[in-house]
Structure 1
Amino acid sequence: MDKILVTTDFSSNSKAALRFAIQLASQHKFALTFFYSYYIANLTSLSNPAFADYEKKKADKIKKKLNQFVESVYKDMNAVSKNKKCVIKSAVLADSNIREYAQENRFNFICISTRGSGKLKKIFGTNTSSLIAHSIVPVIAVPRNYRRSEIKSVIYASDLVNIENELTKVIEFTKPLKAKVEILHFNYHTEMTANKNTVDELVKKNSGNNIKLHIENINLAESLISNIEAVIKRSKPSMMIMFTQQNRSFFDKIFFSSNSANFSFKAKVPLLVFNKI
C-alpha cells in the first residue's frame, strides 16, 4: 500500500493538506501518517533527568493534540478514519526532520499545506519550498483554501524532455484515481517541437489511461507561471503535476528559483512535484 506523510503545524491553514490526503485515501488505498515536528529547548537549569521527564510530558501532550486535531478534520469531512496513524518527532529544523522521516520510512509522498501559521521563515523560504527543492520523496503542496472534491483531472506540465519516464510516474499516480491527464507543453515561437511525434505515439500507446496532449504557444509578455495559471483557470483541473530540477548550483537556487517552488505559493490547485532526473 502506498504511504503518504501528511504534515501539520496545528494551524487552520495546515488542515488543507489533511483534507487533500484524506480525499486521496478515499479514492485509492493510501496509508496516511500525520506528522508533527517539534522541538523543546532546555532553557532552564533543569538537570538532564528532570528535563527528560519534562520533555516526555510535553511530548505526550503534543501527541494527544495531534490525534485530536486529525480526528477533528475527519469529523468535519464526514470521512471514515482508517489506515492512519499519528507521529511526532523532535528536531530543530522541521523541513529536514520531515525529509529524513519520509525517506527513512519509505514514504511514497509528502503532503504539506503551502502556508502554515509560523512567523519565522527559513533563509531560503518556507518548509514547503524547502521540501520541493530538496526532498527525494515527491511532495504534494496543497493551497490553504483547498476544499474536498473528487480528483477527476490532472494537468501535467512538461518540457517534453524525458517524457517517457515522467509520464510513467504520472500514470502510476493518476490511474488508481481514474483521473484524466492533460500533458501541457508551452511552445516558444522560435521553437520547433522536434519530439512531438514521439509524444503523440506515447499518448496513443496510453490511450486507455485517458491522456491527451495540449501544446500552447507561450505568451512572452507574461511569466511562465502566469501562462500556467491562465491554462488552469480555463481547464479547472483537480490538481497539477510538475517535475523540478534539484541538482542545480547554489547560485542558481538562490537567484533562479524553480518554477515548481514558485508555483506552490500561488497555486489555486494542489501541486505534486517529482524530482526531475
Structure 2
Amino acid sequence: MEKILVTTDFSDHSKSGLRFAIQLAAQNDYLLTFLNVHHLQIPSAWDVLSENEYQDEQKRIVHAKLIQFVENIYEAIHLKPKHVQYAVELSPLPESSVLEFAENHNFNYICISARGAGILNKILGTITSNLINQSKVPVIVVPHDYQATEISSILYASDLEDYENEIGKVVAFAKPLQASIELLNFTSLELNQEDVKKLETKIQNTTDYPLTLHVGERKQDHNLIEAIRLAVKKAKPSILVMFTQQNRNWFENIFYAGNAAEYSFHTKVPLVVFRKS
C-alpha cells in the first residue's frame, strides 16, 4: 500500500490538503499519515528531566488535538477514517522536519496546502516552495480553497525531454483513480495536425494507458506559467502534474520567470510535482 504524508498546522488553510488526501484515499487504498510539526519553546532554566517530561506531555496534547482535527474533517465530508496514522514532531524547522520524516519512513507522497497570496501568507508559503525544490519525495500542493470532489482527470505538463520515464509515474498515479490523462506541451515550433498525431502515437506507444496530447503555441508575450494557467483554466483538470529537475530551482527551471513561485500560491487545482530521474 502506498503512503501519503499529510501535513497540517491546524489552520483553516491546511484543511484543503487533508480533504484532498482523504479524497485520494477514498478512490484508492492509500495509508494516510497526518503530521503536525510543533515548535515547542522550553525555558532555558529547566533541567533535562523536566524538559523531557514537558516535551512528552506536550506531544500527547498535540497528538490528541491532531486526531480530533482530522476526525472533524472526515465527519464534515461524510467519510470515515480507514488506513490512518498520526504523528507529531517537535521542531522549529517545519520543512526540514517534514522532509526528514518523509524520507526516513519511505513515503510515496507529501501532501501540503498552499496558502493565499497575502504578504504574510507568501512568507509562510515559502515552506511549500522549499518542499518542492528540496524533496526527493513527490509533493502534492493543494490550493487553500479546495473542496473534496472526485478525481477524474489529470493534466500533465511536460517538455517531452524525458517523457518515457515520466509517463510511467503519471500512469501509476492515474490508473488506480481511473483518471484520464492529457499531456500538455508548449512549443515555439510550427506543428500541423499530422505532426501532432505522429507525436501522440509515438508517446502512446510508451504505455498501454490511454492519453491525449495537446501541443500549444508558446506566445512571445506569455511565459510558461501564464500559458499553463490558461491551459488549466480551459481544461479544468482534477490535478496538474509536473516534473522538477534535481539540484535546480524548480520554478525557474520550468517557468523561466522571476515571479514563478506565485504559481503555488494561486493554483486553482492540486499540483503534483515529481522529481526527474
How does the TM-score come out when normalised to structure 2?
A: 0.89
Q: Secondary structure of 1:11's partner?
A: coil
Give the equivalent residue in structure 1 for 2:212: 212
Would the aligned equivalents of 1:160 and 1:195 in 2 still touch at CA under 8 Å? no
Amino acid across the alignment from 1:274: F
- Map Cα deviations across residues 144-169 of structure 1 (whole Å, 9 max, x no partner): 00001101100000001011000011
Give the equivalent residue in structure 2 for 1:180: 180
Q: Secondary structure of 2:160's partner?
A: coil
Q: Secondary structure of 1:183's partner?
A: strand
Per mean C-alpha deviation after superposition, the further-off stretch among 32-41 and 159-168 is: 32-41
Distance 2:170 2:186 in 1: 18
Give the equivalent residue in structure 2 for 1:135: 135
Structure 2, gaps ≥5 residues long: none
Distance 2:70 2:224 in 1: 36
Q: Secondary structure of 2:233's partner?
A: helix
Per mean C-alpha deviation after superposition, the further-off stretch among 17-26 and 225-234 is: 225-234
Amino acid across the alignment from 2:179: A
Distance 1:89 1:118 in 2: 27
Would the aligned equivalents of 1:200 and 1:213 in 2 still touch at CA under 8 Å? no
Q: Secondary structure of 1:126's partner?
A: helix
Give the equivalent residue in structure 1 for 2:163: 163
Structure 1, gaps ≥5 residues long: none
**CA apart distance, 1:39:** 2.5
Q: Secondary structure of 2:81's partner?
A: coil
Runs of 4+ in 1 over 3 A off after TM superposition: 116-123, 189-192, 194-199, 256-262
Distance 2:104 2:196 in 1: 38
Find out whether 1:270 has 2:270 as its counterpart.
Answer: yes
Distance 2:54 2:6 in 1: 27
1:176-255 counterparts in 2 under 5 A? 176-189=176-189, 197=198, 199-204=200-205, 206=207, 208-248=208-248
Would the aligned equivalents of 1:129 and 1:261 in 2 still touch at CA under 8 Å? yes
When residues 176 and 271 of structure 1 are mapped into structure 2, their CA distance, relative to the original with a 3 A threshold, is same
Would the aligned equivalents of 1:13 and 1:145 in 2 still touch at CA under 8 Å? yes
Find out whether 1:58 has 2:58 as its counterpart.
Answer: yes
Amino acid across the alignment from 1:216: G
**CA apart distance, 1:212:** 0.5
Count residues in correspondence.
273
Give the equivalent residue in structure 2 for 1:110: 110
Give the equivalent residue in structure 2 for 1:46: 46
**CA apart distance, 1:240:** 0.4
Distance 1:230 1:51 in 2: 53
When residues 120 and 199 of structure 1 are mapped into structure 2, their CA distance, relative to the original with a 3 A threshold, is closer
- Map Cα deviations across residues 121-177 of structure 1 (whole Å, 9 max, x no partner): 779x61111010000000000000000110110000000101100001100100110
C-alpha RMSD of the superposition:
2.9
**CA apart distance, 1:54:** 1.6
Distance 1:245 1:115 in 2: 24
**CA apart distance, 1:199:** 4.9
Q: Secondary structure of 2:51's partner?
A: helix
Distance 2:257 2:166 in 1: 21
Amino acid across the alignment from 1:203: Q
Q: Secondary structure of 1:87's partner?
A: strand
Amino acid across the alignment from 2:245: Q
Q: Secondary structure of 1:101's partner?
A: helix
Percent identity of the aligned residues?
40
Would the aligned equivalents of 2:63 and 2:86 in 1 still touch at CA under 8 Å? yes
Give the equivalent residue in structure 1 for 2:153: 153
**CA apart distance, 1:92:** 2.5
